Amino acid sequence: MHDATFAAQVALAGRRVVVTGGARGLGAAFVKTLATAGARVTFGDVLVEAGEALAQQLSAAGHDVAFAPLDLAQPASIAAFVDAAAQRMGGMDALINNAAITNSGGKLAHEVSVETWDAVMDVNVRGTWLMCAAAQRWLRESGRGAIVNIASDTALWGAPKLLAYVASKGAVIAMTHSLAREFGADGITVNAIAPGLTEVEATAYVPAERHAYYLEGRALRRAQVPEDVTGPVLFLLSDAARFVTGQLLPVNGGFVMN
């Protein structure tokens, strides 16, 4: 194991972490990695059956992990989920806003319906905002609160035929900057990760040409996998990043460079 990753994992032992969209894909990778690092994890998702199965699997292996239903499109669901997570763990030290929907993939701007646009914004933007707002009290009480918002590098290079999603992730990046200034008074760090096209279930719909475009454009010529993203997120949640806030970190093998 890489020394930096090991150090971040050790620093997260006993940390109380909430993850949204943790039932599968990148979210499940966050949950598993945090559990292995000794963190206490409560995760939510609309995929109840998959979420319960993952929690049962990790709990059976001796990890402190629990699942609760969460629908980011429903403000009441968000409030209930945060309260349940904080009550179960006796507070909250960190939040990973991972849950999102795409829905507009493969459609040109004039082909996206208002209903699709609103659905994507309600989950990806409003849902992230409400999660942060609901968690603020608990993160303040932690004394070392940290939020990591999962954005996307599509908002940095302007991916076509994905407008609603790209716009929503651009909003998440802007929100991260504003929340970092607001929440800084409470000692809460707020940062964002912008992954590239990662090989998970949620990207199975992406055409082969887009996968090839990413592969050819990366400085590191290989497919991106969830483990490429979990390490940077662990760092931002750890005490090693307590003076890092309001930042966006592209994690895409050099496809987009600052």
Q: Could you give the residue numbers annotated as active site?
A: 165
* C-alpha span between 78 and 136 (Å, rounded): 13
Which among 202, 175, 195, 193 has a CA at the least distance from the CA of 248? 193
Cα-based angle 115, 117, 119 (whole degrees, multiple of 5): 70
Which among 70, 64, 78 has a CA at the least distance from the CA of 17? 64
SS3 of 180-217 = HHHHHHHCCEEEEEEECCECCHHHCCCCHHHHHHHHHH
Contacts of 126 (CB under 8 A, 6+ apart): 72
Which among 209, 183, 179 has a CA at the least distance from the CA of 197? 209
* C-alpha span between 168 and 180 (Å, rounded): 18
DSSP state of 108: -
